[in-house]
Amino acid sequence: MTHATGCPVSHTDYTKESEIYGHYATLDAEREAARFHFNDTTERGFWMLTRYEDVLAGFQNHRNWTTAVRTALFPESRIPLLPQDLNGEEHQKFRRIINPFFAPAAVRRMEELAHTRCVELLEELAPKGHCNFVAEFAIRYPTDLFLVLMGLPVEDGDFFLPWTEEMFNCMLQGDLDGAEVPRQKILDYFTVAIEQRRKNPRDPAEDMVTRLVQAELDGELLSHDTILTTCMSIMLAGLDTTRSALGYIFTHLATHEDDRRILVEEPESTRDAVEEFIRLYPLVIQAGREVQESCEFEGIDMAAKDVIWLGIGSANRDPRKYDDPDTFVLGRPGINQHLAFGAGPHRCLGMHLARLELAVVLEEWHKLIPEYRIKDGAELVERGSQLTLKELELEWEV
Ligand code: HEM
């Protein structure tokens, strides 16, 4: 079937869960079938860009294709996000306020603590000989580091974590009403933190909430709602993604003995391995955009308000860009050009932190638990929309 423009029509519903790697297989097939598709599974439909060069061009076309739509799958999301929702100069100014907390130097300052916290969690886990990796480790660790990053007490993770879990699950299944209850609890929690920093500010160069409370945009202090939304947005963007990346990485390592042995025997290769894992298992499989002024893109006529799918998941595995793209290759040429963190002005704010977190886990885990496997009979199911493994049962000898 073809669209009126001549573009093939895709009926693939990417919000559906599948067995592990099912989404990558479909993305690969759609990319090889055609450079562009029009997907008709949502009310507005969306233009799918499937190949590396087009997806990169799409990210760079940020003046006309904006984040007025953030995900092609749920274009009407009611939850405000900052800095994601801003574009152009407004976006740049806002990013300047928070960029310093995510710069490589700031992330390096967190490194020691990242190791300490990781070892603490692993020392609790290792003697058990098994775990549900997703629930017991992969979400716990980034949540703790998020709290540290914000200058909040790490112990708050105990009650903060279940709220974030519930909210992600509802949001990513399109249940916005269900997401409202945990969202409110998180907002109340941040409200208390913001009030505390107003009364007792800390060093704004090191404490992000203090920085947000004191920051000015065009000569005015940020409103309470803006600060709240920013805290929430960083949390939403940072926790589910890191948890999900860990799930895919540890599934890979539990099933690819040779790759695991490299990490155990040559820990200096960890950073390169992290980058290749991020390329190979992109969990944010698409970024959404909305066309502001009608335009033509590579032969397709697009109208204002049309929705676009920048296909990160298919671009990262495009054989036109990477040889043998579905295989883990350490030291792969062009690895730093992958699109898992996006590109252009909205490129992931937390990418250095994400890399650090993943590298620390790989290093510390393999020191304590070098051999492990997936429990016999465990079913590996991946959520749709933004991929994650719902469960991952790992076991090891103690
Ligand atoms: C493996 C982990 C991660 C992946 C794969 C990932 C992926 C992405 C992608 C693809 C985007 C761009 C979306 C777009 O262009 O529309 C993005 C943006 C963003 N990410 Fe990440 N991310 C990760 C971790 C993190 C972490 C740890 C944080 C913070 C703690 C974070 C915070 C953000 C923020 C705030 C944005 C919005 C930037 C903007 O709009 O200017 N991310 N991320």
Q: Residue 174 pLDDT > 90, yes or no?
A: no
Instruction: For residues 122-143, give the mean pLDDT.
Output: 94
Q: Average pLDDT for residues 175-182, to the nearest whole number? A: 88
Q: Which of 5-9, 288-292, 353-357 shows the lowest per-residue confidence on average (mean pLDDT)?
A: 5-9
Report which of 81, 392, 396 is spatially closest to residue 247, judged by C-alpha positions: 392
Answer for the pair 47, 306: CB distance below 8 angstroms, yes or no.
Answer: yes
Which residues have CB under 6 Å of ligand 1? 67, 70, 83-84, 95, 146, 233-234, 237-238, 241-242, 245, 278, 283-284, 287, 312, 340-342, 346, 348-350, 353-354
How much distance in Å is there from the Cα of 237 to the middle of ligand 1? 5
What does the alpha-carbon distance between residue 22 and residue 398 come to, in Å, rounded to a whole number? 33
State mean pLDDT over 268-291: 98
Q: How much is the pLDDT for 229?
A: 95
Query: CA quadruple 338, 248, 140, 268: dihedral positive or negative?
Result: negative
| Domain definitions of the chain by residue range | 9-395
**What's the CA-to-centroid distance between 287 and ligand 1, angstroms?**
10
Q: Tell me the CA–centroid distance for residue 304 and ligand 1, in Å.
A: 26
- 273-284 pLDDT, tens per residue? 999 999 999 999
Closest approach atom of ligand 1 to CA 234:
35
Q: What are 261's two structure tokens?
A: 């042995």
Does pLDDT of 370 surpass 90? yes
Instruction: State the Cα–Cα distance between residues 375 and 394, nearest whole angstrom.
Output: 6
> Residue 48 in contact with residue 62, Cβ under 8 Å?
no
Count CB atoms within 10 A of the CB of residue 371. Answer: 12
Contact 106, 356 (CB under 8 A): no
Cα–Cα distance, 110 to 354 (Å, whole number): 12
- Mean pLDDT score of the chain: 94
130: helix, strand or coil: strand
Give per-residue pLDDT as tens, 199-213: 999 999 888 999 999
pLDDT band (50, 70, 90) for residue 151: confident
Let me know: does 374 contact 394? Beta carbons within 8 Å: yes
Block residue for tokens 């990242």:
114
Q: What is the pLDDT of residue 176?
A: 82
Residue 114 near residue 356 (C-beta atoms within 8 A): yes
pLDDT of 271 over the 80 cut: yes
pLDDT at 377 over 70: yes
pLDDT tens digit sequence for 232-260:
999 989 998 999 999 999 999 999 999 99
Question: What is the residue whose two structure tokens read 């040559």?
Answer: 266
Residue 225 identity (one-letter amino acid) = D
38-76 pLDDT, tens per residue? 999 999 999 999 999 999 999 999 999 999 999 999 998
Percent of the chain whose predicted confidence (pLDDT) is above 70: 99
Q: Are 15 and 46 in contact (CB under 8 A)?
A: no
Percent of the chain with pLDDT over 90: 85
Return the structure tokens found at 354.
Answer: 């994400």
For the CA of 245, the nearest atom of ligand 1: 1
The Cα-based distances of 337 to 312, 316, 319, 321, 344 in angstroms read 12, 9, 14, 9, 12
Q: Is the pLDDT of residue 173 over 80?
A: no
- The fold of 9-395 is Cytochrome p450 (1.10.630)
The pLDDT value given to residue 172: 67
Tokens 């993770």 locate to 157
Decide if 97 contacts 215 (C-beta within 8 A).
Answer: yes
Contact (CB, 8 A) for 36 and 47: yes
Local confidence band at 339 (pLDDT 50, 70, 90 cut-offs): very high
215 CB contacts (<8 Å, ≥6 apart)? 97, 204, 221, 222
